Structure 1
Amino acid sequence: MKTVAQLLRAKQSKHVHTIAPDEMVLDSLRVMADANVGALPVVKDGTVVGVVSERDYARKLVLLGRSSIGTPVSAIMSSPVVTVDTHQTIDTCMTIMTERHLRHLPVVEDGELLGLLSIGDLVKEAIAEQADLIRQLEQYIRGE
């Protein structure tokens, strides 16, 4: 089973888009749209203090009739934030995300934000590992 470090190295985009907690929700939506991502780590003074996602926007702002122009990210972000380090396995991350009902998981090492994993990243990797195992088993059965 691969580690978070291995998965981060394999990801195409190494840049992690972030937002500050005092920025407006509308700004976070623009960043997410421009970057084609569904969530942003919320960073204050170099520390991850939360995550803001499209789900937070829909449930904590739109459904309550609040304005994205005058509402700071801190008002809708998910906090306290659950993070993992680079030594965790993909399996461990999937368990955390399943149990906590999370779709995004910041990767933090020694207080530094290194990446953001989505449930899609983990599922893609799990499928690739299973396909590789099936291929190996088929070769074994054929005596190759």
Structure 2
Amino acid sequence: MLVRDYMTRHPFMAEPSMSIVEAQRLMGENNIRHLPVVGEGKRLLGLVTRNTLLVDPRRLGSLDVWEIARYLSGLTVKDVMIKARDVITIHPDATIEDAARVMVERKVGCLPVLEDGVVVGILTDADMLAHLMQMMAAGTPAVRVTVRMPDVRGELAKLVGAIAAQGWGILALGGAPAPREPGKWDAVVKIRYVTKDQVAAALSGVEGQQIVDIREC
């Protein structure tokens, strides 16, 4: 699972000479929040977001409405963009989990994707959520069960073995450290073509493991 598989290819982009009024219109009409700013050969020069396009009222001072209109119409993307040296980017061959880590650690909502300095895509927080939906088969009818187990080798194999023993297939599987329980791990499994009662009966007997949530979704 690499960035190139989940990024938005051929994203909307802006030239530095584009007015901020035009940039706002482009973003509003296409429901996007980030615009890479590129120069010749689609090389990254900067980034504008909805926030960077907001003009600080203090810059307008005591201007009247006509002066404000003239001032805003004269502003370009180059005047407000985040310069390329300050933009956090990522390579298309980076893993999706590395991209998520960078976005969380750097507190950014998007990562322009660069290959040899050229913008080839953009990865946004919305793309990451869409990836999570795919991983967990959101929207596909199934039984979703969360099983808490000791965080030791072999525990996940026990759970998968119990499911396989019933002849069931796994639609989706994920896991994370159990909240507020050090040394425990929560595995989330989605299984199709079964009932909640069948899953509960099959997995409640797995030694050392506990069903903490089960639902049909």
Band of TM-score, shorter chain:
0.7 to 0.9
> What residue in structure 2 maps to residue 5 of structure 1?
4
Q: Which runs of 5 or more structure 2 residues have no equivalent in the other structure? A: 61-70, 138-143, 146-155, 169-217
User: 1:130-141 alignment to 2 at 5 Å?
Assistant: 131=136, 140-141=161-162
Q: Report what 1:70 is aligned to.
A: 74
Runs of 4+ off more than 6 Å = none
Letter of the structure 1 residue corresponding to residue 163 of structure 2: R
**Which fold has the larger relative contact order, with Cα–Cα distance below 8 Å and residues 6 or more apart in sequence?**
1
Name the counterpart of 1:55: 51
Alpha-carbon separation, structure 2, partners of 1:87 and 1:65: 42
Amino acid at match of 1:82: I
Change (3 A) 1:141 1:124: farther
Give unmatched runs, 5+ long, in structure 1.
none
State whether structure 2 residue 120 is matched by structure 1 residue 114: yes
Determine which structure has the larger strand proportion and give its number. Answer: 2
- 1:57 is paired with a residue whose SS is coil
User: So what's the TM-score if we normalise by structure 2?
Assistant: 0.55
% identical aligned pairs: 25
Q: TM-score w.r.t. structure 1 length?
A: 0.79
Aligned length: 134
What root-mean-square deviation, in Å, do the aligned CA atoms of Structure 1 and Structure 2 show? 2.4
